[in-house]
Every structure is written in C-alpha cells, then in structure tokens.
Amino acid sequence: MNEMLSDTALLLVESLNEFMHPAGLFYEGILAVARKNGCLTNLPELARRARGHILVVYAPIGFTPGHPELKDRTGVLARVKARNALVRGSFGARFFGEMEPEPSDIVLTDRRGISAFHGSDLDRLLRERAVRRIAVGGFLTNVCVESSVRSAYDFGYEVTVIRDATACLSNEEQVFCETRILPNFARVIGAGEFLAEIGNARLGRSL
C-alpha cells in the first residue's frame, strides 16, 4: 500500500443482501434513494477502486436465529427482529455478490450494535494500522452510517461520508441527514470526488 494512503480507511456498513439484493428484506425500502443517487452501483465501484490504495473495512451486522440479543429492544432493532432480518448465515445477512471482501480487507465479526464501533474491535484494528482518516458508505444513512460517523468523530478520526454510496428509507431523510446532521461530524462528498482524491494522493499529492 502507498505510504501516503496508509492512514486512510474505507468503512463499508451493511453491504449485505438484505439491503442490496432485490430479494433482501430492506431493498424496497432504500430503492427510491438508490435510484436517485446510484448507490447500488457506486458502492461496488467504490470498494473495487479504493482497494489497493487504502484499507477497506467491512462492518456487517447480524443476529442469531430468533434474535435473542434483541429481547426487549425497541425502535429500529425491534423492527429488525419483527421482520426476522439479518439472521447470521441467512441469505439476507450475506455480503452482496459484488461486495464480497477480499483477503486484503478487514471484516468485523459478531457486530450487533448500531454503530460499527459498538462492541467491536474496530477502533483497535484501525489504530494498530495507524489509520486516522475514515470514509464511510453503506446503510442506512440516518441509522448505522450516522451512528458510526458519530462514533468515529468521538474517537478522534477525520471522517468523510460518501453521500452517493449511502441510502435510507426516503429522499427527505437522506437530504436532511446529508445537509443538516452529517456535516456536524464529517465532510460529505461524492464517490467520484473521493476516488479522485485517493488517486491524486497515490500520485504524490496529499488528501
């Protein structure tokens, strides 16, 4: 890996069939935003082109059958349980075909929290590799992506959100999150701009 880019990582949150495959339980929910911003195409392209330039980290979430971890939970996790979604080993909890990790990538295991940092080794794994900048894409923009961004900010990372590599359940929520919430904690830019930045850095110009 180019020395100049060794301090940067791409964090992919929930790049799973449940969100990205037409048979996934949440696919229809994110489709309006995905059609508008192209995230279902941009995410695989982002991962493919970033790999080899920067560290790629996958942060899937999953639960054991019956969701015993979510007993008495309310809100979004209660809805996950009610739909019997994101069950470990199930089709929905597997990585989308074009988003399969490669050996050079890091894949978090046993993550059950909304934030990719909660109950995981993510901060330790990044600090061991001297990462100080994180770019984030995935689902849902105003749930797991936002929560991961807030955590990364609290841990002291420089955070970038790839807006057209994220989606949530309505265009209104997406725009509000992009323009009113995420800028408090991160730069919000497009996939093309981010890829240009890491390309330029590889040629010797700083991010």
Indicate whether 60 belongs to any domain: yes
pLDDT of residue 203: 55
Domain range enclosing 172: 3-202
Indicate whether 19 belongs to any domain: yes
Taking residue 83's Cβ as centre, other Cβ atoms within 10 Å add up to: 13
List the structure tokens of 78. Answer: 């209660």
Rounded Cα distance between 179 and 182, Å, is 7
DSSP-derived 3-state class of residue 160: strand
Give the E-state strand segments of the chain in sequence order. Answer: 8-13, 55-59, 106-107, 133-139, 158-167, 187-189
- Consecutive H or E run containing 205: none
- Which residue in this structure is represented by tokens 């981010």? 194
Dihedral (Cα; 167, 173, 178, 182), 10-degree rounding: -100
- Residues ≥6 apart with Cβ < 8 Å to 29: 169
Rounded Cα distance between 105 and 10, Å, is 10
CATH code for the domain in which residue 14 is found: 3.40.50.850
Q: Is 2 left (phi over 0), alpha (psi -120 to 50) or beta?
A: beta
What is the 8-class DSSP label of residue 96? P
CB-CB contact of 136 with 186 (8 Å): yes
pLDDT of residue 199: 87
Taking residue 196's Cβ as centre, other Cβ atoms within 10 Å add up to: 12
Indicate whether 207 belongs to any domain: no
**pLDDT by 10-residue block (mean), the chain, 207 residues:** 72 98 98 98 97 95 96 96 97 97 95 94 97 98 98 98 98 98 98 93 55
Indicate whether 163 belongs to any domain: yes
Structural domains of the chain, count: 1
- Residues ≥6 apart with Cβ < 8 Å to 65: 87, 88
CB-CB contact of 147 with 119 (8 Å): no
CB-CB contact of 19 with 25 (8 Å): no
Global pTM value:
0.94
Indicate whether 173 belongs to any domain: yes
